[in-house]
Amino acid sequence: MTLRFDGKTAIVTGAGNGLGRSHALALAARGAKVVVNDFGGGRDGSGGSSAAAEAVVAEITAAGGAAIANGADVTDAEAVATMVAQTMDAWGRVDILINNAGILRDRTFAKITMDDFRKVMEVHLMGSVNCTHAVWPIMREQAYGRIVMTSSSSGLHGNFGQSNYGAAKAGVVGLMNVLVLEGEKYGIRVNTLAPSAATRMTEELMSAEALDLLDPASVTPGVLFLAGEDAPNKTILGAGAGTFSVIEITETTGKWLPEADRTPEAIAAHWASIADPTQRQHLANAGAQTQNMLKQAAAGLGLDLKLDGQLA
C-alpha cells in the first residue's frame, strides 16, 4: 500500500535546503500540508533570510501541493510558538514534526569557544525541544502525533572536531527516549533519524563522487516511514546512499559481585563476563536497568525480592 499523508499537516524545520527541503517536498508530494520552516542563516547559523523557505514553498505549490513558509529561529521559543499558531490557524492540526534544523561550528575541543559550543547545542538540542514542546499539547489533544528527531553518527559514534555537534545529537536521542514513554498513551510516536547526506554541512568533507551517492533524496524515504501512521516507536534509523539501518542502545546483563569482591581488581578479573556481548538486552526505561541490578543482587544473596512494576 502506498504511504500517503492526505489530511495531515507537517512542520519541517531547516527545510530551505538539503535534507529538510527533500523531506518537505516528499511529504507534500504524498498529500501533506507542509510548513516549510527555515531561518535562512548560513551553515554556522549567522545571518537570516526567508528566501530559501519561500523557494521551497513555490516548488510545492507549483506541483499542486499546499505549503506555507516560516522563518522562525528554532532557538527562539516565542517565534516557534508563533509558527505553531500560524499552522493551527491555517490548517487546524499538527500531525508531524520533523526536527531537522541545524548548524555547524566545528573546532577541536581544545580550541572551541564556549559560545560556539552553546550555539550548536541551542540549535540542535534546544531547537528540537522548543518545537516539540510547542506541538506536544496539540498532539496530546488530538491523540495523534509523529515526531522525528535528527541525530548523527557524530553523536552516536563520535567524530573528530565535533564535540558540540556530537553532544547535541546524542542529546536528541535522550529526549526521544523520554518522550516515547510520555507520549505513548496519547498516540504520539517519537523516532530519530541518523542521516548521511550531501548537504551544506558536508559538502567540504567528501569527494564529488561520494556526494553524488549521498543525495538527500536517498535519506528522505526513511523520514516518510518514521512519520507514517504505522511508524515504529523509539527507533534510531540510519539512512544514507540508499542504505537503511537500525542503531541500537543496549546494555549487557552484567555480573553481580558479592560485597567482598566489589573492587576494581575484581571488575577487571570478571570483565569478560561483565562485557559479554552475547548477553545484551534492550531496556524499556531507566527503571529496567535498576530492576536488572536488583534481581541479580537478590539472586546472589538468596533473597526473595518482589520488584515487578515497582521501578517502571
d(CA 122, CA 103): 10
Catalytic hit among 91, 165, 225, 256: 165
Question: How far is C-alpha 229 from the geometric centre of its chain's CA atoms?
Answer: 18
**Number of neighbouring beta carbons within 10 Å of residue 123:** 26
- Exposed, middle or buried by CB within 10 Å (0-12, 13-18, 19+), for 200? middle
Strands 96-98 vs 66-70: parallel, antiparallel or unpaired: unpaired
Which cell goes with 178? 523520554
Does the active-site annotation cover 165? yes
**Nearest Cα to 137, choosing from 171, 182, 98?**
182
- From the list 225, 120, 123, 115, the residue with the least C-alpha distance to 166 is 120
Tell me how long the chain is.
312
- Whose CA is closest to 277, among 238, 250, 245? 250
Question: How many other CB atoms sit within 10 Å of the CB of residue 23?
Answer: 32
Position 227: which residue type?
Answer: A
Would you say 65 and 4 are in contact if contact means Cβ atoms under 8 Å apart? Answer: no
Q: Which three cell numbers stand for residue 163?
A: 564535540
Strands (E), 39-187: 66-70, 96-98, 145-150
Catalytically active residues are 165
